[in-house]
Structure 1
Amino acid sequence: MKSSFNCLEDLLANNYPVIACESPLQERHRLLTRIAAYCQNTGNKAYIWNLNESSIKELAVGVKENLILREFNDYKPTVKQNKEDYFQVLNFWKGYSEIGILIVENIFPWIKENNNQSADFLIVSSWIKSSLINLKHSNQDSGKTTILLGHHAEITSEMAAIIPLWTQELPDTQEIIDNLINSKILPSTYTDQDWLEIAYSSAGLYISDIISCFKDIEKTHPTGNSSEIAKLLLSRKIQLLNRLYDIEFLPPPKVQLGGLELMQESFKKFKRLLTPRAKQYNLRVPKGIMLVGPPGTGKSHSAKACSQNMGIPLIMVDWGNFRSFGNQAEVKLKRLLRLVDRLNQVILYFDDFDKGFAGDDDLAKRLAGQLLTWMQERTSDVLVIASVNRMEWLPPELTRAGRFDYLFKVDLPNNGERHTIFKLHAARFDKRFRNSNDPWSEDEWRRILKATNRCVGSEIQTIVERAAFSIFCTMTAEDTYTSSELPPLELTIEALLEERRQINPLAIREADRVESMRNKADQQALPSSLRDESKFAVGNINIFS
């Protein structure tokens, strides 16, 4: 499989007069070095121009494969009287007699679709577009190529038809291994398995970022083995991805989920679709899963449970935040989808998916269309999960069959599920609940479950945490510290009931809205939970006792 750079070199070899190139800023130095090396190998020259320099520099590669910038005196810009004079380099290159490659940086703001711009801006934009079209026709088969370089290559639709676009993709594992071996920053004694482990840990980063991470690791762990290096690299990668993409990247977490057995069983089956045997039968993971239900019922926690059951990382994204990016929203989504495609086996979780469509504007529709197109055409093993409170806010095309393959209703927990959720949270503070122990009687549990009817998982968590805090304050003097063994913290029925009295559950406070959400989910979604067959089920209560 060709690397991203090889595809660019193919375009250069075919003598395209103008090429649009999209490359991230951190890869700029490597890209310029690669283009300069290509020109030296083919007997051509490479030049670069940008607004900051306002002059042309010649690019070359030294004996140590370092990038060299030399003065170029053939281009002498005239005094700038008009705004378009800043871009007179285009006319110079059209008439220049020598052959080679001229890199023009950061010109895309003037050649993209421009709306609501000033008259002066539109005049300059039209002048630049006309100059590029003239370049395209004048330099055809001349041996001269103009590379338009920027971190986001966006051009008008009419120009896109005549200017090919090259996008620097994230490197695959083999490309990562090849570049790391050539860089000689890791021991040559590594085995093929060592290199593969390193490559998997760094997948999703550009080569420049990977090398930068290795240099940081080398300062603190100069003699680490491959497994230790891979773990440190993964940690740095997670921090970098979170910052670059505004996401929360989580390795498969260890979580406990109370109830929702039907949905969890489906998650375990989905794991089998990642196996080579499933690929032999042309089976693949679902296009998408939608979790529908009132707030606080455990939709985000369910996504983490899916990550745990399938053994693949989880990327959590607030879909509503895309609207805050304005004109950059589609670019942000495009970059994110490229990332998950390269990571391949990963869960992409969109939290509060419906809130991004509350405004019913053009941006929301374009984002939805972009996501749906990707979901339909992707070939990677990315599982998309979206949580939804109000299905009526979603465009109809999102909920029809063939879009999201599975819709699960994540409902208010029944008595048996609330019992399990209480025990899970109580075990964090009270040792008596650990190892499947249960210090309370059935009647005591019935008091709690009756009092917490219509409470969701997040509210139960709050009740337990506040009760533990209250008991801690009564058993421990203020501002005291002791190194001796701490007395056990034991939760009481009375403390839990007191905390319950102090909160007003959402399903009671906003009963009409919550019931509307549940009814909408009932109409289209599959149940997530089995019928309550526990001893605390409503049908098992003796009303005559």
Structure 2
Amino acid sequence: MYSFQILSGLIQEEYPVIACESPLQERLRLLTHISQFCQTTRKRCYLWNLGEETIKELTVENSKLVIGEFQDYIPKPRQNKEDYFHILNFWKEYQENGILIIENIYPWIQENSPKKTEDLLVSEWMKSSLLNLKLYNQNTGKVALLLGATADISSDISAEIPIWKQDLPDVSEIINSLTQTSLLLPEYTNTDYLTVANAGMGLYISDIINLLKEVRKTTDFNNSEFVAQSLLKQKIQLLNRLYDIEFLPPPKVQLGGLELMQESFKKFKRLLTPRAKQYNLKVPKGIMLVGPPGTGKSHSAKACSQNMGIPLIMVDWGNFRSFGNQAEIKLERLLKLADKLSQIILYFDDFDKAFAGDDDLAKRLAGKLLTWMQERQSDVLVIASVNRMEWLPPELTRAGRFDYLFKVDLPNNGERYTIFKLHAARFDERFRNGGDPWDEEQWRRLLKATNRCVGAEIQTIVERAASTIFCQTVIEDTYSQSKLPPLELTIEALLEERRQINPLAIREADRVESMRNKADQQALPSSPLDESKFAVGNINIFS
């Protein structure tokens, strides 16, 4: 309820106009809260929006919102567009005190207002009307609340109107709201409530309640752990839709090589502990992974999530540009979500592509992200993958923003050996549990042929070889529950698939080498020197 308390404080100070930002799903709860506040303070509460010809009066009975008719308002015939918003003039001249909630205003008073001459005139008329409300309604006990999902106000009037934005609830707010419902069982303990509330973190109360209603259809509510697990699954699906992200619980992945970087991830995990907090230690503000495409930067972020044991939010940074005027708002909401979840990894893929041109939107987004990274107090770890460092603004790479820069390079012989075995084990059981059916000479043939291949290309080679062998050796196509005949990969099949692809580091050699050289100048190595038996220095050139 803390967020509502801030709004109540603004209303009590009787600001004539207050801009309110609240998601649509919270509308009923917010209207109910404002109505209850009005009844407590002996004020009348009204609601107007474009969907109603008249003003409605709001009251609360038995914690339920009651909508009644308000007789004193006679709408003006709608002949011109400004007539639709005659409510602003009415409220300026109305003699009684109270609170009027006005919806559908923001599209007309936002920063990028309508461009058509007629619409522009309406926009300017509405902004002037709001300024008149502030001027004429001072100390009258009348408050106009502008309500919408996005409180976007033109800069020429924004200084005159305070803005309240509904925050995501914390654990105590969620628990308090759940105790007022009949969704959970009476015998639930404080620990049970805490378990369910933690699973719902990052959602608004209305979303949590609606998801719990769905969960109740298929889940035994006698076990709070089962309820929390089901709620978490539903939450992940909802967050992915709402924020256009990929939310992943700590995944189980295997990473071939990059030992130096993985050691750093394990160190960062310790910085999340209560003891580290006692020493005023925190996780780095940001980590940048630099290197050519396909070298495993996204996979490294998943490995970081696994090593640290915290969830991962994967975001395509370039996608924000496609949101146009909504890009900054979407980024701001995503950063608020990350702050509320706190111990989480926020991964921006292809971070450099948004800065390829001289783009004002890209600069504004970068500025918002940098400001947040500089000021945040939560334990969010930001990871960004970059191909070309020269595209980035210099301020992005200075200490205090991205504290660690790791070069994720083309895999060496030892790393390619490990990557081949990891992917081969998916299809050929001889490679599982540390098995290795091939001798050293066979491996040297394969590793030499795949020099300058990245991890993604090695994965493709193995998958295509497995498909080819399956089609050549397995005749039956029907599903069988009996033990399957083994699928055995061969060096010849892998070499044949290698011949059919042209690795990026070879066909775009100049571009890839430029990326590697730039990364060398600024980033730390992710891998130690190759000390495997396949290292270049261990090859006997006289054999």
Q: 1:77 to 1:59 in 2, by over 3 A?
A: same
TM superposition shift of 1:401:
2.6
- What runs of 5+ residues in structure 1 fail to find an aligned partner? none
Is the Cα–Cα contact under 8 Å of residues 49 and 103 in structure 1 kept in the other structure? yes
Amino acid paired to 2:410: L
> What code does the residue aligned with 2:182 have?
K
Matched with 1:533 is 531
1:195-210 correspondence to structure 2 within 5 Å: 195-210=193-208
Tell me the amino acid that sits aligned with residue 327 of structure 1.
N
Aligned partner of 2:54 in structure 1 is: 55
Superposed CA RMSD: 1.2
Query: Which letter does structure 2 place at the counterpart of 1:202?
Result: G
Equivalent residue letter for 1:24? P
Alpha-carbon separation, structure 2, partners of 1:330 and 1:29: 27
- Residue 403 of structure 2 is aligned to residue 405 of structure 1: yes
Per the alignment, residue 451 of structure 1 pairs with: 449
- Kindly report which structure 2 residues correspond to 1:275-294, keeping only aligned pairs within 5 A, or say none: 275-294=273-292
Q: Is this contact kept in 2: 1:181–1:188, CA < 8 A?
A: no
Cα distance change of structure 1 residues 479 and 437 upon mapping to structure 2, 3 Å threshold: closer
- Tell me how far apart the structure 1 counterparts of residues 124 and 197 of structure 2 sit (CA, whole Å): 45
Provide the C-alpha distance between the structure 2 equivalents of 1:116 and 1:73, rounded to a whole number of angstroms. Answer: 33
Q: 1:387 aligns with which of 385, 388, 391?
A: 385
- 8 Å CA contact 2:114–2:120 kept in 1: the answer is no
CA contact (8 A) 2:220 2:227 kept: no
- Relative distance call for 1:78 and 1:106 in structure 2 (3 A) is closer
Give the aligned partner of residue 246 of structure 2. 248
CA–CA separation in structure 1 for the residues paired with 2:55 and 2:202: 34
Aligned 1:194-343 pairs, distance under 5 A: 194-343=192-341
Aligned to 2:144: 146
The 8 Å contact of residues 268 and 310 in structure 1, kept in 2 or not, is answered as yes
How many corresponding residue pairs? 543
2:345 counterpart SS class: strand
Q: TM-score, normalised by structure 1?
A: 0.98
Cα distance in 2, alignment partners of residues 190 and 415 from structure 1: 56
Query: Is 1:468–1:489's contact at 8 Å kept on the other side of the alignment?
Result: yes
The DSSP-based 3-state class of the residue aligned with 1:334 is: helix
1:414 alignment counterpart = 412
- Given that residues 54 and 86 in structure 1 are in contact (C-alpha distance below 8 angstroms), is that contact kept between their aligned partners in structure 2? no
Structure 1 residues 93-172: aligned runs within 5 Å = 93-114=91-112, 117-172=115-170
Query: Structure 1 residue 312: deviation in Å?
Result: 0.3
1:14-60 per-position Cα deviation (integer Å, ceiling 9, x unaligned): 11111100000000011001111111111111000011213200011
Letter in 2 for 1:137: L
Q: Give the secondary structure class of the aligned counterpart of 1:146.
A: strand
TM-score (normalizing by structure 2)? 0.98
Residues 481 and 56 of structure 1, relative CA distance in 2, 3 Å threshold: closer
Give 3-state SS (helix, strand or coil) of 1:19's partner: strand
Match of 1:365 among 354, 363, 366: 363
Q: 1:354 aligned to 2:352?
A: yes
Contact 1:241 1:247 in 2 (8 A): yes
Q: 1:195 to 1:481 in 2, by over 3 A?
A: closer
Secondary structure at the residue paired with 1:195? helix
Which sections of structure 2, spanning at least 5 residues, go unmatched? none
Q: Secondary structure at the match of 1:220?
A: coil
1:116 is displaced (CA, Å) by: 6.4
Name the residue aligned to 2:19: 20
- Could you tell me how far apart the structure 2 residues matched to 1:324 and 1:72 are? 43
Contact 2:412 2:530 in 1 (8 A): yes
1:435 partner SS: helix
2:75 corresponds in structure 1 to: 77
Is 1:46 matched with 2:45?
Answer: yes
Q: 2:163 corresponds to which letter in structure 1?
A: L
- C-alpha distance in 2 between matches for 1:364 and 1:224: 50
> What is the Cα deviation at residue 294 of structure 1?
0.3
Structure 1 residue 481, shift from structure 2 partner = 4.4
Q: Secondary structure at the match of 1:434?
A: helix
SS at match of 1:387: strand
Counterpart AA for 1:218: R
